[in-house]
Chain A
């Protein structure tokens, strides 16, 4: 990619997004949870409100953390990144995810 076309910070964002998302999911951590029964968001676990949805929190965490790191990484350092990583890292993330989720089928 020519320097005029390349946006290394965007590539870093995309690579990190899946990593941060998968980490949050694996650690069962979300900055907030949505409880669909009472239709409320909570920062803390509130079991009395029924089942919780963590997905919104995982996506928000992945977006914020990835964007912050992508902006913080110096452009000179980011430009050293090979374009191959842009698809290889998400592919590895997807494979790891599929391997982990085999638990549903045993």
Chain B
């Protein structure tokens, strides 16, 4: 059961990562030019307002999945990391749990800002902050999940 939950958690995180990355890139200042569209231009040429609700739902559902997995992590993984004296691995996970909590608190304002087109700057910086949180959480989650295979 825990393995199924871990896989679902990972898949939801992939969807969240894609949505927030598209959106974060789309709000970056655009370079003026009339040339042909590059891959980066096409990547950012999305209807970024359409992602807001999906990001909120995916963030909350992924965080709930992580919260359900957390007891198993606390009992098995963290104690193993402590036994192996991998302080940095424990540290990056601790930062992840704090960032996710802060991200949960930001979601209501993030969602409202995407419904109010006037607030361009606040919306951009809040989106980038959430994108940082999602990227950190995604990378740390995957590295720790595979840490046994990564160690020499």
Hey, what's the 0/1 contact readout for B105-142 against A, CB within 8 Å counting as 1? 11111101101101101100110010011000000000
Given A14-B109, A105-B88: A97 and B99 interface contact (C-beta under 8 Å): yes
The count of A-to-B residue pairs whose CB atoms sit within 8 angstroms is 114
Give the dominant DSSP class at B's interface.
helix
Interface size on B, residues (CB 8 A): 40
Contact partner, B108, options A10, A50, A55, Cβ 8 Å: A10
| B-contacting residues, A76-102, CB 8 Å | 83-84, 86-88, 90-91, 93-94, 97-98, 101
> Which of B67, B105, B119, B125 gathers the greatest number of chain A CB atoms within 10 Å?
B105
- Cα separation A86 to B120 with both chains bound (whole Å): 12
| Contact, CB under 8 Å: A1 / B129 | no
| Contact, CB under 8 Å: A94 / B118 | no
Residues of B contacting A16 in the complex (Cβ-Cβ under 8 angstroms): 105
Identify the stretch in B29-37, B49-57, B70-78 within 8 Å (CB) of chain A at 4 or more residues. Answer: B70-78
| Contact, CB under 8 Å: B118 / A5 | yes
Residues of B contacting A32 in the complex (Cβ-Cβ under 8 angstroms): none
B interface, CB within 8 angstroms of A: 67, 70-72, 74-75, 78-79, 87-88, 90-92, 94-95, 97-99, 101-102, 104-110, 112-113, 115-116, 118-119, 121-122, 125-126, 129, 132-133
